[in-house]
Homo-oligomer: A and B are copies of this chain.
Amino acid sequence: MPRAGLAPASVTAAGAALADEVGFDRLSMGLLAERLGVRTPSLYKHVAGQADLAHRIAVLATTELADAIRDAIQGRAGSDALVAGAHAMRSYVRDHPGRYAAGNAARVSGPDDPLVPAVERVLASWAAMLRGYQLAPDQEIHAMRMLRSILHGFATLEAGGGFQIDASVEESFTWMITFIDDGLQATTATRRALAR
């Protein structure tokens, strides 16, 4: 019997690709094994089980998402950075719905969990982007949470087919980001006016 040349990373990558195809909730060890041309028990030589596989996919997805957002924001500031970052995130979720679902389902297992730095990188990119708006320090956390809520909410509703009405989802997204941008600028402007 010839070897398939698998490794934890390649199994994880194949699992992520499969999750994107069939949906994270339909991902099974048997299906993944079949896709890799191997029998189910062989997978256990590379990942500890389904929970481990899901967690590895989550780390992969979060890392990829962090990269995508960082690259999009790179060299931009203010509105440009917000628009670019937001679109990068939406694109990522649309292209990789299964991985993103894995990322949402994952829970941090301990202090050494590689998911922790991956999540921190995503948050750091958003924080860097928001810095361009020069918000009051005590408002940054609120703005950050709002941003995460709106982007995560839009992405998951879109992925779940939640936007049924026949109106451009693209247009709604742009409108929404403009709305947030205007509001953030107004928040800063108000603060400056009060400081005078």
Contacts and interface: CB of A to CB of B under 8 A. Distances in A.
B165 A154 contact: no
B187 A179 contact: yes
Interface string A7-22: 0000000000000000
Contact of A161 (B107, B142, B157, B175): B107
A152 B148 CA distance: 11
Contacts of A38: none
Contacts of A179: 142, 146, 183, 187
B107 A176 contact: no
Number of this chain's copies in the complex = 2
A6 to B, nearest CB: 28
Contacts of A44: none
Interface residues of A, number: 33
B141 A176 contact: no
Is chain A's binding surface mostly helix, strand, loop or mixed? helix
A148 B153 contact: yes
Interface in A145-196: 145-146, 148-154, 156-157, 160-163, 165, 167, 169, 171-172, 175-176, 179-180, 182-183, 186-187
Interface of A: 104, 107, 139, 141-142, 145-146, 148-154, 156-157, 160-163, 165, 167, 169, 171-172, 175-176, 179-180, 182-183, 186-187
Given A142-B175, A145-B172, A153-B154, 8 more contacts: A141-B167, A142-B167, A142-B172, A149-B154, A149-B176, A150-B150, A150-B153, A183-B183
